[in-house]
Structure 1
């Protein structure tokens, strides 16, 4: 887990918002649970089929990223390049 990824994730607004990544538009929801120890991000491409889903756990031993049925590289790239409106 890179510092850049965590900084980009933390910069995203909580709740639902729209944004763009790689020329595509998305509706994104970022949620915090357990006082921020568990976080979730879900993004659906507007007018397309792309879907991003991940869980991020902030543990005493460090952050753990758990993508939902997709490669870790896909969710990392998405978060690093997502620009909220």
Structure 2
């Protein structure tokens, strides 16, 4: 079975993009590291205080999601609910 979070994260393009989540606009920056085996995603609400930050590591044992100073549920909900421009 496919992981909706992983699929949504893969659809976000590398580099700069913009999108909407929960009626608010965000600036998103996605960086691939370690030959694509690591993903860093940071998003800032445009005109507001919200901030999302995560790292995803692809390990032999499976994916390891590391949200940066926030709950895992927040980053999962943001990534799966994001609509790109």
TM-score category of the 2 structures, normalised to the smaller one: over 0.9
Q: 3-state SS of the aligned residue for 1:6? A: helix
Residue in structure 2 matched with residue 7 of structure 1 by the alignment: 7
Q: Where does structure 1 differ by over 6 angstroms across 4 or more consecutive aligned residues?
A: none
Q: Which sections of structure 1, spanning at least 5 residues, go unmatched?
A: none
C-alpha distance in 1, partners of 2:63/2:15? Answer: 21
What do the CA deviations read for 1:22-71 (whole angstroms, capped 9, x no partner)? Answer: 00000000110001111100000000000000000011110010000000
RMSD: 0.9
C-alpha distance in 2, partners of 1:59/1:22? Answer: 31
Number of residues of Structure 1 aligned to a counterpart in Structure 2: 84
> Equivalent residues in 2 for 1:1-85 (5 A)?
3-85=3-85
Q: Give the TM-score, by structure 1 length.
A: 0.96
